[in-house]
Amino acid sequence: MHPFIDPADEGVLFLDGVRYAIGPRDSIRCSLEVAGGRMRRAARQRSGPLAQSTSIDLSGFLILPGLINAHDHLQFALFPRLGNPPYSSYIEWGEDIHAAFPEIIAKQKEVPKRVRLWWGGVRNLLCGVTTVCHHDPLWPELQSGDFPVKVVQQYGWAHSFALGGDLRAARSATPDGSPFIVHACEGIDDLAKEELRGLDQLGVLDGNTVLVHGLAMDDVGIALMRERRTSLIVCPSSNYFLFERLPHLERLQAIENIALGSDSPLTATGDLLDEIRFAIDSCHLPPDAAYRMVTTAPAAILRLSNQELSAAADLIAIQDTGETMADRLRTLSMSDIEFVMINGKVQLVSEAVLALLPKTMKQGLEALWVDGTIRWLRAPVEELLRSAETVLGSGEVRLGGRSIRQPSKTRRNELPVPCAECI
């Protein structure tokens, strides 16, 4: 038995019969005990039902900690991939898409930002992300307690060396001990190569600074990153789309803290799970390293409390094939995510898991069809889809490039009634 917090018997939820991944290669078979939104213990056996306790039989599932997406632009979740690559820098790309696709950009921006941000949260939830870092202002919607996923709350940011305005002021405005996040070395031209030195000369390169991309970084730059103890977030599929160049992840692993981000659908291949597979297949990233880059590494980079993370009941479940978690990452996709819990609250289930839930846990879940896969989400799916379709057209909404719709007008009072044993 592994204790997480002090026991208390009231309001306890048991996730029974699971195999729990405690690392990329290690796991235990157990019942997970959740109370007050926290993991309380993982017990190989439990003695029996407790007063005011509930259980969900997840036999045949592998449970793992929720994934952390270190870099996303949530407001662009409904945008298509835009560009006429290859480019030499992010500046060239930005100028080109505004000249080549002004109608598409204008139409997408007609969708209210609140709605676009919510779809960004849903896009992350669908692929098992429980915490995401948004590279943009912390809009009020992202501070709401009912947003689909956790959003990092304490950070500073600037867009980039060239487009970020007064970087010294942005760095000074960052809360003490919080990450300061900025795009850097995103390209293959001389400007991209010189950005790291420029940031250092401004005095904004330190142990709280987090650079995103780093494609143009050479061995000298890596050494400087190590000296300044600066962290890096890579988004390989965006780099390949824009510049037809892949980051040298084996060399970049020399940086102490390095994580993986999904970036936005404007440039990326898909969601965070798609990015993981891309990094493994195209950049030859070892699966064990990929696992760390979406769990412990971003937690350290984003200054998320280790104690909070280890105790929080942020969990996802996939079918147990007997493989290690690291090996599953080679093929894992959105359609494999069948259960997501955040702070002890069920946020997503497949139709199979829906039938296992106690009736009270089904309240508030709405169905979403995504490229042939149906998931039930704790989100106002009907309202969000209606708002987006009002602008983009019925059947024309794409979430990270995937077709989405409501499978029916099923409402919560029509949810399947569980068997007596499941209530």
Q: Where are the domains of the chain?
A: 68-301
Top-level class of domain 68-301: alpha beta
What's the pLDDT tens digit per position in 303-335? 997 544 557 899 999 999 999 999 999 999 999
Average pLDDT over residues 333-342: 98
Task: Say what the pLDDT of residue 203 is.
Answer: 97
What's the pLDDT tens digit per position in 99-141? 999 999 999 999 999 999 999 999 999 999 999 999 999 999 9
Least confident residue range of 89-98, 109-118, 292-301, 405-414: 405-414
Task: Say what the pLDDT of residue 419 is.
Answer: 36
Task: Say what the pLDDT of residue 252 is.
Answer: 94
User: Residue 45 belongs to what H/E stretch?
Assistant: none
Average pLDDT over residues 145-163: 96
DSSP secondary structure, 180-203, as one string = EEEEES-BSSHHHHHHHHHHHHHT
CA distance 132 to 294: 10
pLDDT value at 41 more than 90: no
Cβ(378)–Cβ(344) below 8 Å? no
Cβ(418)–Cβ(359) below 8 Å? yes
Measured CA distances, 252 to 171, 225, 255, 284, 354 (Å): 24, 10, 6, 13, 42
pLDDT value at 88 more than 90: yes
Average pLDDT over residues 241-251: 96
**Ramachandran area for residue 115 (φ above 0: left; ψ -120 to 50: alpha; else beta):** alpha
CA dihedral sign, ordered 150, 155, 156, 157: negative
pLDDT value at 414 more than 60: no
pLDDT value at 242 more than 80: yes
CA distance 146 to 225: 37
What's the pLDDT tens digit per position in 259-287? 999 999 999 999 999 999 999 999 999 99
CA distance 405 to 410: 13
Task: Say what the pLDDT of residue 100 is.
Answer: 98
Closest by alpha carbon to 285, among 245, 240, 239, 252?
252
The residue to which tokens 């959003």 are assigned:
151
Q: What is the pTM of this model?
A: 0.92
* Alpha helices (runs of H) in 62-189, residue ranges in sequence order: 90-100, 102-110, 113-126, 167-172
Cβ(322)–Cβ(300) below 8 Å? no
pLDDT value at 394 more than 70: yes
CA distance 349 to 56: 12
Task: Say what the pLDDT of residue 312 is.
Answer: 84
CA distance 294 to 88: 28
Residues composing the chain: 423
pLDDT value at 49 more than 80: no
